[in-house]
Copies of this chain bind each other. A is one copy, B any other.
């Protein structure tokens, strides 16, 4: 176990001791606190280590790098989000509207914290293998979240295609928002527009 990021890998299979899990949590919490105020650039590894009361080298044993740390934070966040969205059924008369409702709800938390969102989304666009694993987690969570909006009898192959396409639009719109290409309103509108384009024909 000498590879960087190895501990984080172990975290996926609950192989950590209590104190290790606590360290990991403190690191993620510290990163999110710093990102909350100053975004990506404000998350400095030395600061994270100090704030989490961890040695810098240890931080790198847990996460393969800054992007991995932030991506892990996003993965945690989205899983939390999934739990919260699941408790309330989506509003809306059509599948398209329900889907939009769900996606908007899932995105609301991000809208409230632009700096944090920008930081974690930016970290996601990176080819580090550990980051890709987090990206998969996020992607799977979004897949499950969207699945809740479809009626039981909806053709499952079509559903899968739609969900994947909307996942792309969601991600791209989010990137566009955090990088300032478009406002949050336009981003939401384009997501809704895409959902209607693909789903209104099934009403």
Interface residues of A (CB under 8 A from B): 118, 122, 125-127, 129, 131-132, 135-136, 139, 158, 161-162, 164-165, 167-169, 171-173, 175-176, 178-181, 190, 193-194, 197-198, 201
Contacts and interface: CB of A to CB of B under 8 A. Distances in A.
- Can you tell how many copies of this chain the complex includes? 2
B180 A168 contact: no
A165 B132 contact: no
Contact of A193 (B118, B136, B161, B169): B161
Nearest to A187: B168
A126 B176 CA distance: 10
Nearest to A136: B181
Given A125-B122, A180-B132, A165 B175 contact: no
Contact of A197 (B118, B129, B162, B178): B162
A190 B164 contact: yes
